[in-house]
Structure 1
């Protein structure tokens, strides 16, 4: 603590230092702001023009801030028993003036000055002391606003602060009334003009305090402290909150405890005499206040000095006539298409080359040879009939906007168009519920079996024949294997009963044998057996998938049909790489599952033909993602800004003209749920969690199952 007032940097000096620093910072900010927008020109006469600044508010793009406030001082020291039984908000007034600037978006530094009065009155039968001190404070402070922990759309901003300051105090006490009579505190609780033990105590008159603090405590020197310093250092520590009011204004409310380095603010210490004796702790005081502040924007209109050209009008005209702003080789006077991007080929009129005449320059045209008169999109690709219909429906449904955001999601791949040509197949089974293990083995022993799903029913069909007799011969072959079968027509993905059409051909084949039964071994890759049906998107890249639901409740997935064990093994490796870690080879022959040894495999141990593949998906190919929105047409600018601001956004086209936007890639369900809530608060209430496997979107609950959660 300083020992002499002369050695102190008082608040006036701090205020002057703060003003000098503020002027320097403001000047540096102005120089940086102006240098960003200064343009080169020819040296000559000077004129002033106004143009909008674009350099931002200061070096960091943050606004300097000034504020004025009012509050209440509460004293905690030797007088008043540390303010016990007193309300800290019903005391003496104080005023503050602050000037600050953000050092970072989350840390603010500033200077401040405060002025007010501290005081306390202690009244009892044993001790009667009072004081009032006029305090002047100056210092600097740092504030932290918890920005990293707050949502982007927060309205109230809490903060904590710490600083260092100089405190000057002038302490006085009330010892006499307005008539100059001294206060004498009697044991009956009254105040009189004569001491209780005086000889003329009988003449004493009851008087009242006037609460006018006229006596300088240091000058009284009751405790023999002499001419002690009436200034000290202090450390302020505070908490508060800030509310943005708009228009650059804000409202702050807070409370700060000032811990001084001295114990003489109230004139009482542990060295005081008699009943005046206090404790050894330094004095402190609380300032609870509110303030109104204003952020000074550096982006306002700035007057800037620009040089006037010394060229004559004729010279200026010559420059204009020969100017080529877009540097495409065509003078601006003759350029029908100004501002052509750099590198584009142009014609004699300065317009980008467009050989198919669709209005999209060749450099940007994804379909450079569109048909004459065809309507194209912004990439020059011809609109299909489906795209026209989708845009028309989107327009009718949208009213005045063309954005559609929905939680409804189709996780399956786009189904391939079914052939319109009628073909004939042999149906070997159809089930709504599961089928027996015996029938499963019979079906899987057929090399060219495939499945057709219609609603809840799965049809198992074989072959693809142009004529009924060929299909009937295959039917006989399958019946020879003990498999119930029936020829049907397949058209547009539907099975049609053709019993009447096959009747005549069936009569011709009556009495013929069952035909040659396939006696080759068929090897397949079993991907897994699951208690639940998986999303079609998981198998989007597998074209020959066979799905079989057994009566044991398991849904089995198979791919491939091979007679060569080596080719089958290579296919299995491809499935392992796709993340199906439980994939293994199974062999079928004449309607039964057999050992893969019969297919030419060499085993190192016994093979259990009743075993199922461990249904394991490699977690490295699994992720959780967040679908932020599903949009048709152009995304509004404000929405696109929000999407870009998130970072890690992936856009996936949805045929014919939609786009889905996904955020992040998570392995932990709790983390993705927390991120979803945060995105919903940012203006995307329909955001929801999905899964992803090998780049294909699947429902979140299936991702949970595959992760084993």
Structure 2
């Protein structure tokens, strides 16, 4: 009976204590609703002793699954991380995934190819690639987005053409030095990086200088005169005494400046111009840092004086054009840091070193005791 009465008293006392309210004044009671909201916003996060995988909880804001391609509105890393065995670079920053900054590093390429001329010469204004001349280019590329690159390039080489026909018997060779900028689209928003081959298109502008010369004199200074039978003589076919004309052979030495030879027709025209450049090609990944590029570009120029022929002296009314077909090697200038395993690998290495050290100490101890 006494036990029952004691239990009943304790229950009544507990209920009374639980029903009591806290009558002590709190600083929060004096705050307005706006001040109370600001208080909870500014309140620091409590200290956490969580030792699980990194980058969980609120830190996942801005992260995205690795299979989703980042866009202009979403730039993030994958949700999956390996926790304590997560790979990092030698500087201590995360490198388990290729960062956007790393993908934006510049690249340099060096190439060689053939320059083909499309102007007033040849019946169809087309030059065979077999008669095209060599050119070389240097290109610096900076990626802007996953699918756009900005390229700065220089190119130098020689253009040349020779035509023997009833309509034209002309030839020239021109030294070309060009520099420009173009924008390259490589389908990065459609084609995954796992593919080793990727097509691309380019469009840009270029300024260039051309120094054209022609071969109209032989080694002895005799002018070439082309006859209807296909021969080259030292006098015109219709000249008096043409029966005594002597055969000549071209020496293929381009000794005469084209601008100087046409000064009476065109005057001192500028030997510089601009062009719109359109291109296409493919990029093939060879190694992590080296790419192989196959490139074709069409230069649509703003001049008609490269070959020295215009509509005023037997040419057409179109501006001159030329092409550049090339192969180049592209190299990543920024070496990617060496990846290592964090914490777990370091612990394993330390354990192995300590174990070897202990074995060595034991062996020395045993040898000393014997």
TM-score (ref. length: structure 2): 0.62
Query: 111, 114, 118: which one pairs with 1:69?
Result: 111
1:110 to 147, 151, 158: 151
Residue 212 of structure 1 corresponds to: 253
Match for residue 168 of structure 1 among 194, 209, 215: 209
Aligned to 2:280: 239
Matches within 5 A, 1:31-430: 52=91, 54=93, 59=101, 61-84=103-126, 86-88=127-129, 90-221=131-262, 224-272=265-313, 277-297=314-334, 299-300=336-337
Indicate the SS of the match to 1:116: strand
Q: 1:82 to 1:112 in 2, by over 3 A?
A: farther
CA distance in 1, matches of 2:171, 2:333: 44
Match of 1:148, SS?
Answer: coil
Q: Distance in 1 between matches of 2:264 and 2:198?
A: 48
Q: Deviations over 1:444-502 (max 9, x none)?
A: xxxxxxxxxxxxxxxxxxxxxxxxxxxxxxxxxxxxxxxxxxxxxxxxxxxxxxxxxxx
Shift of 1:247: 3.8
Q: Which moved more, 1:206-215 or 1:291-300?
A: 291-300
What's the CA shift for 1:59?
4.1
Please give the alpha-carbon distance, in whole angstroms, between the structure 1 residues aligned to 2:289 and 2:302: 37
Q: Is the 8 A contact 1:135 1:169 kept in 2?
A: yes
1:222 deviates by: 5.8
The answer on whether the counterparts of 1:132 and 1:171 sit within 8 Å (CA) in structure 2 is yes
8 A contact 2:293–2:328 mirrored in 1: yes
Question: How many angstroms apart in 2 are the aligned matches of 1:53 and 1:126?
Answer: 72
Deviation at 1:264, TM superposition (A): 1.3
Q: Is the 8 A contact 2:262 2:308 kept in 1?
A: no
CA–CA separation in structure 2 for the residues paired with 1:286 and 1:194: 37
Instruction: Find the aligned partners of 2:100 and 2:108 in 1 and give their Cα distance.
Output: 15
Task: State the Cα distance separating 1:201 from its structure 2 match.
Answer: 2.3
Q: Contact (CA 8 Å) 1:58, 1:298: kept in 2 or not?
A: no
Deviation at 1:151, TM superposition (A): 4.1
2:273–2:302 contact (8 Å) kept in structure 1: yes
The count of aligned residue pairs is: 247
Q: Post-superposition shift, 1:235?
A: 0.8
Give CA-to-partner distance per residue, 1:20-39, whole Å, 9 cap, x none.
xxxxxxxxxxxxxxxxxxxx
- SS at the partner of 2:319? coil
- Unpaired segments ≥5 residues, structure 2: 1-89, 339-370
Instruction: Check 1:271–1:83 CA distance in 2 against 1; reply closer, same or farther (3 A cut).
Output: closer
Rate the CA distance shift 1:248–1:60 in 2: closer, same or farther, 3 A: closer
Question: What is the SS of the residue equivalent to 2:129?
Answer: coil
Kindly state the Cα deviation for residue 53 of structure 1 after the two structures are TM-superposed.
6.8
Contact kept? 2:121, 2:168, Cα under 8 Å: no
Contact 1:57 1:299 in 2 (8 A): no
* Mapped contact 1:63–1:298 kept (Cα < 8 A): no
The answer (yes or no) to whether the contact 1:107–1:144 under 8 Å persists in 2 is yes
Q: 1:270 to 1:300 in 2, by over 3 A?
A: same
Q: Hey, what's the Cα distance between the residues in 1 that align with 2:206 and 2:93?
A: 37
How far off is 1:150 after superposition? 1.8
Quick one: higher RCO (CA 8 Å, sep 6+), 1 or 2?
2
Question: How far apart, CA to CA, are the structure 1 residues paired with 2:92 and 2:182?
Answer: 31
- 1:161 to partner: Cα distance: 0.3
Over 3 Å counting, the alpha-carbon distance change for 1:103 and 1:250 in structure 2 is: same
Indicate if the aligned counterparts of 1:109 and 1:143 stay in contact, CA closer than 8 A. yes
1:601-624 C-alpha deviation (Å, 9 max, x unpaired): xxxxxxxxxxxxxxxxxxxxxxxx
Q: Deviations over 1:249-297 (max 9, x none)?
A: 110002110111111111111222xxxx222111111111110110122
Query: Does the 8 A contact of 1:53 with 1:299 survive in 2?
Result: no
Partner of 1:449: none
Query: SS of 1:206's equivalent?
Result: coil
Bigger-Rg structure (1/2): 1
